[in-house]
Amino acid sequence: MDLKQQVVARALEEGFVMARVCRPDAVPQAAARLEEFVQAGYHGQMGWMAERMHWRGNPAALWPEARSVIMLAESYAPDYDPLPLLHESERGVISAYALGRDYHDIVKKRLKRLGRWLIETAGGEIKVFVDTAPVPEKALGQAAGLGWQGKHTSLLSRDWGNWAFLGSVFTTLEFEPDAPEVGHCGSCTACLDICPTDAFPAPYQLDARRCISYLTIEHAGPVDEDLRALMGNRIYGCDDCLAVCPWNKFAVAASDLRYHGGVGAPPLAELAALDDAAFRARFSGSPIKRIGRDRFVRNVLYAIGNSGVAALLPVAQGLCEDADATVADAARWAVARLKGTA
């Protein structure tokens, strides 16, 4: 086995479902695509995307000494179908990736172990990234042959579907790059058709300002009222476009059970009652913790307003004078919705 084959074998031993290699300069189209995205305003409040365009559009500039990028996919495929949960109106639906431990911690430790092994075996230097730096992971993933960016803009594969985290190991070592992957979506539009907020202006384009994942996680302050009613009971992220992809028939089981966790689909009334301390305790070690109690309870109140469940009216009424203005606004909106006046 040559060194590259050893790297791939080691990556699979670590729990990754696939490992492929590309050059840092393998995505010359990334800069123009990112600029179009930002110029259209599709990034919403994610100002860091505009501020770091130089690096995100040109990964070779992130670390000029790097000669190869090892791109890796790690499955978090849920062991259930997320879509039926959308009909359980008294419960909050949380994206499958956030049900357990924070993937940043788990994947980064795997990447570091792989990187240390590589240094011990062949020398060189490394830097590892997992959604923690301005790295265009999806573009690099396609350039390396991991998969292709689907019409929903996420990376998907004929080998593992689209339930995967992406990580990268930049190295000063030279590896023969793999062939890039080409698209296999064909005429399918399942992901575009299912989107509840019409967040895809066109295939392969996402307007984050309408995406429920963005609205529930990244968007600060009140959500536009015309979008609140479309969010249903999704309180952290949205899996609709991922869940409906037919390539998931090839999904690979998650290698780490910590991704599945015990969050589940909790009762909305229970979640609305969380104060800051209780929120932090409940979601300790979870990616949910980073959005804070106020944004999370805002999302819960939108779900309560969409529930049509009269029994949740007192829950919303109890938060109409919340110390956080956005939470109070969401509570009043929920009350009006449940009373049929919004």
Q: 159 CB contacts (<8 Å, ≥6 apart)?
A: 17, 18, 147, 250, 252
Bridge partners (DSSP) of residue 272 are none
Q: Quick check: 25 and 197 in contact, CB under 8 A?
A: no
Both tokens assigned to 150: 């689907």
Both tokens assigned to 287: 């990616």
Amino acid making up residue 76:
Y
Active site residue 322: no
Bridge partners (DSSP) of residue 77 are 253
Q: Quick check: 191 and 246 in contact, CB under 8 A?
A: no
Bridge partners (DSSP) of residue 267 are 91
**DSSP one-letter string for 105-116:** HHHHHHHHHHHH
Q: Which helix (H) or strand (E) holds 169?
A: strand 164-171
Q: Quick check: 272 and 297 in contact, CB under 8 A?
A: yes
Annotated catalytic residue, options 102, 131, 256, 329: 131
Give the active site residues.
131
